[in-house]
């Protein structure tokens, strides 16, 4: 009978999960508050329309320059001021082809400013990128 009484005294341990759940929720809230969300900046360019279909293929290096509707110059997604763009163009190899993507609402003056910058360099291959109708 002594064995029976030993079994009754033995209790199973109970693990209280409430504090662990509280800690998990606090960690989730911390990471949500501490995380910074950055938006990928995109440059919206509405290219001029063209009916002529001519694809220029260049074996040499190409550099794409964008002019948005406000007259800002971009290389890739990086905006450059005029002085920085002049320096960048001057450092390019003379055989580099320039692909110009200008927004159809950009001013004629912005295009002239870019052509003047290009005129001070040894670059002589310029291609205008348009959209097919």
- Report pLDDT for 121: 84
Q: What is the pLDDT of residue 71?
A: 86
74 plus 13 within the same structural domain: no
CATH code, domain carrying 102 = 3.30.420.270
The Cα-based distances of 64 to 3, 22, 51, 59, 133 in angstroms read 88, 53, 22, 15, 22
Question: Strands 97-102, 62-67: parallel, antiparallel or unpaired by DSSP?
Answer: parallel
Q: How many domains does the chain have?
A: 2
Q: What is the mean pLDDT for each group of 10 consecutive residues in the chain (133 residues)?
A: 59 83 93 79 67 62 87 87 88 86 85 86 82 66
28 and 88, same domain (yes or no): no
Predicted confidence at residue 18, as pLDDT, reads: 85
Note whether residue 42 is domain-resident: no
* 43 domain residue, yes or no: no
In a domain, 41, yes or no: no
What is the extent of the structural domain holding 110?
49-132
Q: Let me know whether 54 and 30 are in one domain.
A: no
Predicted TM-score of the model (pTM): 0.56
């Amino acid at each position: 009978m002594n064995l029976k009484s030993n079994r009754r005294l033995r209790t199973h341990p109970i693990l209280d999960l409430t504090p662990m759940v509280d800690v998990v929720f606090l960690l989730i809230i911390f990471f949500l508050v501490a995380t910074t969300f950055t938006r990928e900046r995109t440059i919206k360019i509405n290219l001029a329309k063209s009916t002529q279909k001519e694809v220029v293929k260049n074996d040499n290096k190409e550099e794409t320059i964008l002019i948005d509707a406000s007259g800002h110059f971009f290389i890739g997604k990086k905006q450059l001021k005029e002085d920085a763009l002049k320096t960048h163009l001057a450092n390019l190899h003379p055989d580099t082809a320039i692909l110009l993507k200008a927004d159809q609402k950009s001013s004629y003056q912005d295009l002239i400013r870019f052509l003047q910058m290009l005129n001070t360099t040894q670059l002589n291959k310029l291609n205008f990128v348009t959209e097919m109708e």
